[in-house]
């Protein structure tokens, strides 16, 4: 079974909303802006730069991997989610501080890690 499928199951069990998106990972902190139209045409719904090296390593080692992302802003639209309202800020911190750990622990129990 796919890791993502297990994560979705754990999310339901823990009452954590997991939103699946097609994410484009890039190992740059600015170059994505010069290629934004191309990236969007590929169907990307989000762009992130933190896990690109991780996915490259997984590919080189011929291993499976997945990423749990916690969205903090929409750089293309210059919108920050944290600080926008108390609700968004609390949801962000709850996701980073509690929910991701619950998901990882639940995943490890499911796959026997």
Least confidently predicted of 7-11, 33-37, 41-45, 106-110? 33-37
Q: For the chain, what are the domain ranges? A: 3-111
- What is the per-residue pLDDT across 60-105, written as a single tens digit (0 to 9) for each? 999 988 888 887 777 666 667 667 788 878 888 888 889 999 999 9
Question: Which residues are CB-neighbours of 100 under 8 A, at least 6 positions away?
Answer: 68, 70
Give the residue from 3, 42, 10, 7 showing the smallest Cα distance to 26.
Answer: 42
pLDDT for the residue 3: 84
- Its pTM stands at 0.71
Asked if 71 and 95 count as a contact pair (C-beta separation under 8 A), the reply is no
Q: State the helix-helix crossing angle for 3-13 and 100-111, rounded to 10 degrees.
A: 120
What region does 42 belong to: left with phi over 0, alpha with psi -120 to 50, or beta?
Answer: alpha
Beta bridge partners of 46: 23
| Mean pLDDT for the chain overall | 84
């Amino acid at each position: 079974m796919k890791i993502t499928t297990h994560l979705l199951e754990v999310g339901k069990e823990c009452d954590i909303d997991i939103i699946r998106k097609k994410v484009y990972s890039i190992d740059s902190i600015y170059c994505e802006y010069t290629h934004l139209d191309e990236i969007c045409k590929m169907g990307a719904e989000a762009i992130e730069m933190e896990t690109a090296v991780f996915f490259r390593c997984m590919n080189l080692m011929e291993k499976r991997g997945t990423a749990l992302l916690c969205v903090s802003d929409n750089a293309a639209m210059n919108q920050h989610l944290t600080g926008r309202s108390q609700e968004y800020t609390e949801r962000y911190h709850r996701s980073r501080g509690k929910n991701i750990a619950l998901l990882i622990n639940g995943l490890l129990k499911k796959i026997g890690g």
